[in-house]
Structure 1
Amino acid sequence: MNLNEALQTFFAESRALLHDMEDALLRLEEEPGDADALNAVFRAAHTIKGSAGLFGLSAIVEFTHEAESVLDLARDGRLDVDDALCGLLLQCKDHIEALLRQAEDGGPLDEQARATGGSLTARLLALNGHAASAGAALDLPAGATAQPLPPGDLDIDQGDCWHISLRFGPDVLRQGMDPASFIRYLGTFGQLVRVATVPASLPGLAALDAERCYLGFEIRYRSDCDKQAIESAFEFVREDCQLRILPPGSRVADFVNLIRQLPEDKLRLGDLLVSCGAVTQSELDAALKGQELHAELRPPLGQILVDEQVVRPEVVNAALSKQNEVRARQSQEAMYIRVLADKLDALINQVGELVIAGAGVSLLAQRNRDAALQEAMSSMSRLIEEVRDGAMRLRMVQIGETFGRFRRVVRDVSKELGKDIELQIHGGETELDKSIVERLGDPLTHLVRNAMDHGIEPPEVRVARGKPARATIELRAYHDAGSIVTEVRDDGGGLDRERILAKAIERGLATPGQELSDAEVWNLVFEPGFSTAAQVSNLSGRGVGMDVVRSGIEALRGSVEIESTAGQGSTIRIRLPLTLAIIDGFLMRVADVHLVVPLDMVLECVELAPEHAAGMNYCDLRGEVLPLLRLREHFALTGPRGRRQNIVVVRTHGGKAGLVVDELKGELQAVMKPLGDLFAAVRGVTGSTILGSGEVALALDVPSLLEQACVRRPAAAATAP
């Protein structure tokens, strides 16, 4: 991989990390004590900083370093995690994203971004300096001096005291070392609570050597310093003494928490214990040597450290848990591979051509009545269908990630508006085509912001109406009749029918006295330039948002509808196809035209009874009234009729309807092709596909088709003589 490819990978991975960072910060704002969320934020910043350094992106490294320092202080408990800190870190995330864009584009950072970066850096430095000065005051011992006490039994668990077990080697005196000086030095940065002499090795007077050291010491020691600092007091005599340092009982929980907060690049047990301060490097080296000496027994490192009383079992168990957790996560991540979207699109196109070619060969085998070839084509068609399904699954992604981005939108906008709004997400696991998900973001953004600005009332108004002060916006997704339905719901005041009508009359979209249904009134808000806002704000009032929503959804072969109840809220429902590429369809013929509908929408096919063939718009389907849409008349088609007419019963919007056609052609795999700009305004037709015979079949947008038919019939009845 060359440097440019690696850099592009860095940009892609950094954006994913920033997305995770934002999610974790929003969780942290809701639950300030969530250590996992705080660690996730730290890991994201740490990884971005380290990777940016590899590519010489100094601006990102320097800014992220300051943010990482603040996060480190928060993890140590030296900074309170509150709304202000989370808000600052969210702004830092946005600035890191701006620095990434600048690095990717290669241009200079604009004035506003530079000013923002300078302001954020100053605030981070202020927090770092404040915490550092507070920490320095805490770390200074209050003039502690050594206070040796008479010998006696020492309890290892002594609250907030370290326990130091010290055995000097016999030759330390000959080497000019004074054991008492090391103990006195400990007292300069801590308090010697108790020092007990251990004379167990002292021989009788006749065998006593004045130049030989026989004494050992058990020390109870109180200090805020770490284990490494205590061990460093014995640096000059470390090779000639046995030293064991056990942390105070109160420190065990701290070590466990530190292990959980360590970055995931440390996987080995020894590294984890050294990094958290529970074990020093020299203690680890000694344990590793002991492990090598007993290689045939393969003793676990953790067991050696516990047996030597270097570390508590609880700390070792926490390190082992962290190790297993990281390995499991890395194993899961290793199951994924990054693929360029262009390569995936090319694969889908090739599979589509394979489907069309397979249909052509199958049709040729049927015409020639070659049984062997037909059997071979049957197996080949099955394999093509499996390849198609596998390729399509590669493009399917969960919509939950898109929904999750709106947590930040709701947070920021609600604070700007002075409203208390909660976002609820349902059906985030629902999957649809990646290309649809990417283009769904903008329409959803307009809808969510509109609901917050226009739909949700101020808290005092909600309380006066008997509602909870905290409002709710729901994002919901689910499958329905071969489509994906996405809903944006709010529990606000609902749409103001009279105000919308007055605005429509003012703009000439409706006439005074005109009778309009609720659905027709709600659809007026999608007209270009339509707005009921009293004044233009940063969020709305220019009349472009809802127009963008409708045009964006229709460009995806979808539809949008509104339901609203005064005083209770509104629901905006977006209906989209599962995919824009290949679908299972049902083929039918009307006159000389071939038509396709999604197979998931087809419930059954029945023959049209002779008594209903005279143009009636409904029929009796086993005691149920079924409305009919005669496609020949609807599209004004002329051509040969079939020997009998048939009804294709489809489901839509929770109901049923019948499409009257001349011939049923059966199932097929339809490779969807756009109609092009010339036919963009055609209602009821969503695309086209190529049949095995080379003919073109039109794909029907059944919901739009039925809606159009419902509008036409009252108009036709009104103009009838």
Structure 2
Amino acid sequence: MSMTDDDAEILAVARAGFLDEAQEMLRQFEEGLLVLENNPEDSESLNSAFRAAHTIKGTAGMFGCDAVVTFTHEAETLLEALRSNQRQLDDDVVAALLESRDQIELLLGEVQSGDSDPAVAASSAALASRLRALLGAPEPAQASKPVAAAAPAAAAPVAVDKIWHLSLRFLHDALRNGLDPLSFLRYLATLGEIKAITALSAAVPPLESLDAEACYLGFELRFESTASLADITRVFEFAAEDSSIQILPPGTAPAAFETLATLRCGDDAEARVALFDCWRAMGMHFDLRVEVIGAPASEEAPVLVPHIERRAAAPADGAQRKVSDRRSGEGERREGGRDRRAGDETRFVRVRADKLDKLIDLIGELVIAGSGAQMIAHQEGAEVLLEATQRVMDLVQETRDGTLALRMVPIGETFARFQRVVRDVSKQLGKEVDLVVSGGDTEMDKSMVDSIGDPLMHLVRNSMDHGLETFDERLATGKPAAGRLALNAYHEAGSVVIEVSDDGRGLARDRIIKKAVERDLIAAGQVLSDHEVWQLIFQPGFSTAEQVTDLSGRGVGMDVVKRSIESLRGTITLTSTVGHGTLTQIRLPLTLAMIDGFLTMVGGVNYVLPLAAVSECIDVPAECAKQSDRVSGTFDLRGEILPWLDLARFYGISAQGHETEHSRRRSVVVVRDGPTRIGLIVDRLLGEHQTVIKPLSGIFQHLKALAGSTILGSGEVALLLDVSGLFAAAIREGQHKKTASQASRAPSGQA
């Protein structure tokens, strides 16, 4: 691979990292604004939003994303006016800044795709004009000119009151630490116009001594701008540890330039002459002394304005320094670079998702292979081999848990997205809504976090549109004017439970039944439990809305929500009380990759239950044994009546010659799904088993209450039971028996 190809690959990786970081900054920007809208005095949130915008602008400038830089600068300027109290925060400002957040996201999307849309450019210009109007700033006469490609031999005199002088020196390891000096110059041009620039190359060694990864250049430039010192200083804050930047403001007296020459050249008279010649060539016509400065400067002489000098910089335009001298401090400089990137980069490493998925797959195969080795050790009966394999399996389990933890992320980031959704939709509907978020630190698999966003979005919008009443309706019923919408998450029995609740009008049971009868989903007069009525909402195309809105009412969505949840091996349930609101509960497994399982056998077939769902194991109660010809029933467990399900009869494998002494000593595994418990009758209990979940092929999707499969150490296949599906099957069996019993007792002619 050529050097050019290497550079392109490095740049592509860096750009991808920039785009990922920009999304995080957009989230921080949005969160800060939403807090400010409710609490305008929160200066920390304002600073957080400003830092996010500035980070996006600065990093975009490094990659030459001019459209992002130009537009983000407008939003940053308005935020700076808020910080300095030049502009007061109001609804118009918050709305414009939130729209700016969306516009920046569109511009970043163009950077990622490599395409540009004239409509996006037009909307950027229109929104930028609106931001300037809110600031009270005049429209610019023309766009800023790009940086000159080369320094002019001489520059025409310009107005002194706007001309800054910048002296830039980038240290030896600047390139190694990921800095591009030219990117800062491009970024600087967004604040004004570079009138003259000279690249200083005296420090570049002969070719045979050149270190291709080292930086030897410095720059002297004249910069025309009305920006403040703070604005210009922030341009270079990303290079603070790998540069020496000196900024002289407009109107600086000659004595300050003499001090700058001393800083850059020390007592090297030849280097001072070269630096003065450079300045004269850039159009600076005042007299400058060439001698080594020994006398103190005049009291009236202005001092230099340093740019975050955290370590001394070696002169780049004086006598050439030895490469070995610079390299002697390389470790110290790199350590400083790590300090500068303190925080997130020292604790987090970005890893491609496909690499992580591959690692988890390999860990799964290691678990299976380890189980096989452990089984062989048990067969051999050698104590030394058993001890060694047990140690290996303990390490495998720790490795498995650690690897799975890499994919576990808090759901709070997903919840945070809904702050903006609730704000925008509530304004669109003319309702007051308070969003209450809890359990944001609850962790779940990253793949499921990504997949759950759209179903949650639909549920939140439905609650706001159909569930929560208008301002007048709430006051008429004695409720607070602002509706309450809550998002909550918590762990329970090896699952993640996500709840969306509101205190609105609740579901209209009669209207749902009427609509279901009209669509022939149920028979007229059919008696349904509340649970069955609420489940009708998940039928395709079902809607009780009297009018269609932009948000909902077309009967499209709830069936899709249910399919999305079920594709993640989860369940969704509704409970509602008229006049008091609705609770939607989503129950999902912690991970889709590996779990701790409990292995059982029924009719010669291995079945695995999630270990976290297993409450206890007991002998088959007498009342179950007396009903050996039934699929399900109920039994008394220490005063609690629980349903039971015979897995052998449920799967139709009881009459296949497996009724041996094992089946005569059958057991009941009591499992729980939320607050509900059920007993599953099995032939044998085989104990705990680390389970690597393998998805079932599409041709097996019709099988009842199966969530997947796994491979045992012996090479046999075991089926992973879906606890929620088994609960639903037990309920259905009980209802069928109840209906049949009622029909058998009905008078002749009415059955």
Q: Percent identity at matched positions?
A: 47
Matched with 1:453 is 465
Matched with 2:674 is 653
Deviations 1:23-78 (A, max 9, x none): 11111111112111111111111111122122222211111111111112121111
How far, CA to CA, are the matches of 1:75 and 1:718 in structure 2? 70
Contact 1:685 1:699 in 2 (8 A): yes
Residues 377 and 661 of structure 1: CA distance in aligned 2, closer, same or farther (over 3 Å):
same
- What secondary structure, in the 3-state scheme, does the structure 1 residue paired with 2:360 have? helix
Q: Which moved more, 1:685-694 or 1:548-557?
A: 685-694
| Offset of residue 644 of structure 1 | 0.8
Matched with 1:14 is 22
| Unaligned residue ranges in structure 2 (runs of 5+) | 1-8, 141-229, 267-301, 303-337, 745-751
Counterpart among 111, 121, 128 of residue 128 in structure 2: 121
How far, CA to CA, are the matches of 1:419 and 1:482 in structure 2? 38
Matched with 1:522 is 534
Pairwise CA RMSD of aligned residues?
3.4
Q: Which moved more, 1:357-366 or 1:379-388?
A: 357-366
Matched with 1:618 is 634
- The 5 A counterparts of 1:99-114 are 99-109=107-117, 111=119, 113-114=120-121
| Offset of residue 371 of structure 1 | 2.4
How far, CA to CA, are the matches of 1:27 and 1:480 in structure 2? 31
| Offset of residue 91 of structure 1 | 0.4
Matched with 1:366 is 378
| Offset of residue 348 of structure 1 | 0.5
Deviations 1:633-688 (A, max 9, x none): 11111331324110111122213221100000100000011113223343411111
Indicate whether 1:630 and 2:662 are aligned. no
- The 5 A counterparts of 1:145-160 are none
Matched with 2:516 is 504
AA of the residue aligned to 2:31: D
Indicate whether 1:437 and 2:449 are aligned. yes
- What secondary structure, in the 3-state scheme, does the structure 1 residue paired with 2:677 have? strand
Counterpart among 674, 684, 692 of residue 671 in structure 1: 692
- What secondary structure, in the 3-state scheme, does the structure 1 residue paired with 2:473 have? helix
Residues 82 and 262 of structure 1: CA distance in aligned 2, closer, same or farther (over 3 Å):
farther
- The 5 A counterparts of 1:90-105 are 90-105=98-113
- What secondary structure, in the 3-state scheme, does the structure 2 residue paired with 1:32 have? coil
Matched with 2:499 is 487
AA of the residue aligned to 1:628: W
Contact 1:584 1:599 in 2 (8 A): yes
How far, CA to CA, are the matches of 2:353 and 2:730 in structure 1? 39
Matched with 1:565 is 577
The alignment of Structure 1 onto Structure 2 pairs a total of residues equal to: 565
Q: Which moved more, 1:546-555 or 1:54-63?
A: 54-63
Counterpart among 28, 33, 36 of residue 25 in structure 1: 33
AA of the residue aligned to 2:492: D
Deviations 1:667-720 (A, max 9, x none): 000001111322334341111111111111111111221112211222144346
Contact 2:132 2:139 in 1 (8 A): no
- What secondary structure, in the 3-state scheme, does the structure 2 residue paired with 1:485 have? strand
Counterpart among 717, 729, 733 of residue 708 in structure 1: 729
Deviations 1:105-146 (A, max 9, x none): 1223163x344323202102223444899xxxxxxxxxxxxx
Counterpart among 384, 387, 411 of residue 396 in structure 2: 384
Residues 606 and 275 of structure 1: CA distance in aligned 2, closer, same or farther (over 3 Å):
farther
AA of the residue aligned to 1:664: L
How far, CA to CA, are the matches of 1:115 and 1:498 in structure 2? 51
Q: Which moved more, 1:487-496 or 1:697-706?
A: 697-706
- What secondary structure, in the 3-state scheme, does the structure 2 residue paired with 1:405 have? helix
Contact 1:559 1:575 in 2 (8 A): yes
How far, CA to CA, are the matches of 1:275 and 1:417 in structure 2? 54
Residues 4 and 566 of structure 1: CA distance in aligned 2, closer, same or farther (over 3 Å):
same
Residues 705 and 282 of structure 1: CA distance in aligned 2, closer, same or farther (over 3 Å):
farther
- For normalisation by structure 1, the TM-score amounts to 0.73
AA of the residue aligned to 1:629: L
Matched with 1:46 is 54
How far, CA to CA, are the matches of 2:537 and 2:704 in structure 1? 20
| Offset of residue 458 of structure 1 | 0.3
| Offset of residue 79 of structure 1 | 1.0
AA of the residue aligned to 1:77: N
How far, CA to CA, are the matches of 1:264 and 1:527 in structure 2? 57
- What secondary structure, in the 3-state scheme, does the structure 1 residue paired with 2:618 have? strand
- What secondary structure, in the 3-state scheme, does the structure 2 residue paired with 1:2 have? helix
| Offset of residue 272 of structure 1 | 13
- The 5 A counterparts of 1:174-185 are none
Contact 2:132 2:138 in 1 (8 A): no
| Unaligned residue ranges in structure 1 (runs of 5+) | 134-256, 293-309, 311-325
How far, CA to CA, are the matches of 1:10 and 1:390 in structure 2? 28
Residues 711 and 98 of structure 1: CA distance in aligned 2, closer, same or farther (over 3 Å):
same
- The 5 A counterparts of 1:57-456 are 57-109=65-117, 111=119, 113-130=120-137, 265=238, 330-331=342-343, 333-456=345-468
Flag the structure with larger Rg: 1
- What secondary structure, in the 3-state scheme, does the structure 2 residue paired with 1:81 have? coil
Matched with 1:144 is none
How far, CA to CA, are the matches of 2:85 and 2:236 in structure 1? 17
- For normalisation by structure 2, the TM-score amounts to 0.70
Contact 2:433 2:484 in 1 (8 A): yes
Contact 1:482 1:577 in 2 (8 A): yes
Q: Which moved more, 1:531-540 or 1:567-576?
A: 531-540
How far, CA to CA, are the matches of 1:660 and 1:129 in structure 2? 76
Matched with 1:688 is 709
Residues 39 and 606 of structure 1: CA distance in aligned 2, closer, same or farther (over 3 Å):
same
